[in-house]
């Protein structure tokens, strides 16, 4: 990775400012600020203990995700906390990655496991910062965390918000941390291992989507058939490809502290902006579902009245 990066810090600053302005425009309730007193509520101590020591292996990541799930499942709303939806999805994908480590398709198990661990560290660190009501909580994660109890957001959308934050914000940072420990691989020989995650996502997406879908989302899903699964798999693959490229750019900036900090800020705010757009589209989708359900129920009621009148000879 010897490519030279042309970096215009003034352009990057203005981009960061614009992204924040646009995010406030579509979500004007002070995005980027941790609401006082939110954190993890009564589970603050348990979450702090969970995140105090970072994982060192995939087995430890899975154990920590399991503990996090137990904590989140007790948070309001009961058994439907929106962050718990992503945490459950994340466990499924990580479990599959762990199982693949000893398989024939993996070129460098050490790279893949370390990447997975560095990836998880970013998630647990975000959980820790949010629990401490720390304003350095990444905006990308704050989009999901501040809506943990918002039942207007579907569980499917919440899981997707987590995927957005984790891939669009955390993954490039995890790649840089992995390369710092192992060195940059010559000729990107480990890239096939990175792409293996795309295959796992492709295999798991149908089950994961249906696990969190509302009844109306399931109805649309049934009508769309495999198209939705295919399109979301393509989206994951494209997003992960972008993260790999982002990782390369950040790697080239690693010795320029100010430039790196601004690049990370833009990446964070861009991810948060995408998250707010996802929320907006989810709200529209759910509202359409409400309207359609009301229309369906109204039509059924009208038909029943007509049917009973006919039977009564009215």
Query: Is the Cβ–Cβ distance between 23 and 123 less than 8 Å?
Result: no
Name the pLDDT band for 313 (thresholds 50, 70, 90). Answer: low
Residue 15 is predicted with a pLDDT of: 65
Is the dihedral angle over the CA atoms 52, 58, 60, 61 positive or is it negative?
A: positive
Query: Is the Cβ–Cβ distance between 252 and 1 less than 8 Å?
Result: yes
pLDDT score of 131 more than 60: yes
3-class DSSP state for residue 209?
helix
pLDDT score of 227 more than 90: no
74 vs 30, which has greater pLDDT? Answer: 74
- What is the spatial distance between Cα 214 and Cα 216, in angstroms, rounded to a whole number? 5
pLDDT per residue as tens digits for the range 134-157:
889 999 999 999 888 888 888 888
pLDDT per residue as tens digits for the range 162-211:
988 998 899 999 999 999 999 887 667 888 898 888 778 777 766 666 56
Point out the least confidently predicted range of 47-51, 55-59, 263-267. 263-267
pLDDT per residue as tens digits for the range 261-293:
988 998 899 888 888 888 876 554 444 333 334
- What is the spatial distance between Cα 228 and Cα 97, in angstroms, rounded to a whole number? 23
Point out the least confidently predicted range of 21-30, 69-78, 233-242. 233-242
Question: Closest Cα partner for 115 from 53, 190, 49?
Answer: 190
Instruction: Compute CA distances 125 → 130, 132, 198, whole Å.
Output: 9, 11, 24
Residue 144 is predicted with a pLDDT of: 93
Is the dihedral angle over the CA atoms 162, 168, 169, 174 positive or is it negative?
A: positive
What average pLDDT is seen over the chain? 77
Q: Where are the alpha helices (DSSP H) in the chain?
A: 9-26, 44-51, 58-73, 82-100, 109-131, 139-145, 155-165, 172-182, 191-212, 215-224, 226-252, 257-312
Residue 221 is predicted with a pLDDT of: 47
pLDDT score of 294 more than 80: no
37 vs 196, which has greater pLDDT? Answer: 196
Residue 210 is predicted with a pLDDT of: 59
Residue 140 is predicted with a pLDDT of: 93
Counting every residue written for the chain, the total comes to 314
pLDDT per residue as tens digits for the range 84-97:
989 999 999 999 99
pLDDT per residue as tens digits for the range 6-21:
555 566 566 667 677 7
pLDDT score of 32 more than 80: no
Place of tokens 């993260």: 243
Query: Is the Cβ–Cβ distance between 30 and 21 less than 8 Å?
Result: no
pLDDT score of 309 more than 80: no
For residue 298, how many other CB atoms are within 10 A of its CB? Answer: 10
The continuous run of DSSP H or E covering 7 comes out as none
Name the pLDDT band for 311 (thresholds 50, 70, 90). Answer: low
The continuous run of DSSP H or E covering 103 comes out as none
Residue 165 is predicted with a pLDDT of: 92
298 vs 211, which has greater pLDDT? Answer: 211
- What is the spatial distance between Cα 76 and Cα 175, in angstroms, rounded to a whole number? 34
- Helices 257-312 and 9-26 meet at what angle, rounded to 10? 20
- What is the spatial distance between Cα 251 and Cα 173, in angstroms, rounded to a whole number? 9
pLDDT score of 42 more than 60: yes
- Helices 226-252 and 191-212 meet at what angle, rounded to 10? 140
Point out the least confidently predicted range of 24-33, 70-79, 106-115, 139-148. 24-33
Question: Closest Cα partner for 99 from 113, 115, 85?
Answer: 113
Percent of the chain with pLDDT over 70: 66
DSSP string, 31-78: TTSPPTT-TTGGGHHHHHHHHSS---SHHHHHHHHHHHHHHHHTSSST
- What is the spatial distance between Cα 211 and Cα 155, in angstroms, rounded to a whole number? 9
């Amino acid at each position: 990775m010897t490519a030279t990066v042309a970096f215009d810090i003034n352009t990057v600053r203005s981009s960061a400012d614009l992204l924040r302005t646009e995010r406030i425009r579509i979500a004007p309730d002070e995005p980027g600020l941790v609401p006082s007193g939110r954190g993890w509520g009564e589970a603050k101590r348990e979450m702090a203990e969970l995140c105090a020591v970072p994982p060192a292996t995939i087995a430890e990541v899975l154990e920590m995700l399991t503990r996090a799930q137990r904590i989140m499942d007790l948070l309001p709303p009961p058994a439907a906390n929106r962050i718990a939806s992503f945490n459950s999805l994340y466990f499924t994908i990580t479990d599959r990655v762990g199982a693949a480590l000893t398989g024939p398709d993996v070129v460098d198990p050490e790279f893949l496991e370390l990447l997975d661990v560095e990836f998880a560290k970013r998630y647990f660190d975000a959980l820790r910062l949010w629990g401490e009501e720390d304003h350095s909580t990444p905006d990308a994660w704050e989009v999901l965390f501040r809506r943990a109890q918002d039942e207007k957001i579907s569980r499917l959308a919440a899981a997707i918000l987590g995927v957005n934050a984790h891939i669009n914000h955390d993954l490039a940072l995890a790649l840089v941390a992995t390369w710092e420990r192992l060195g940059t691989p010559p000729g990107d020989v480990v890239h096939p291992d990175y792409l293996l995650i795309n295959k796992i996502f492709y295999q798991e997406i149908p089950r994961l989507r249906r696990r969190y879908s509302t009844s109306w989302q399931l109805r649309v899903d049934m009508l769309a058939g495999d198209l939705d699964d295919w399109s979301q798999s393509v989206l994951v693959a494209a997003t992960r490809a972008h993260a790999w490229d982002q990782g390369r750019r950040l790697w080239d900036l690693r010795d320029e502290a100010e430039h790196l900090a601004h690049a990370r800020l833009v990446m964070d705010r861009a991810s948060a902006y995408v998250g707010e757009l996802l929320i907006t589209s989810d709200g529209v989708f759910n509202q359409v579902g409400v309207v359609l359900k009301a229309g369906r129920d109204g039509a059924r009621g009208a038909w029943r009245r007509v049917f009973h009148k006919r039977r009564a000879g009215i």
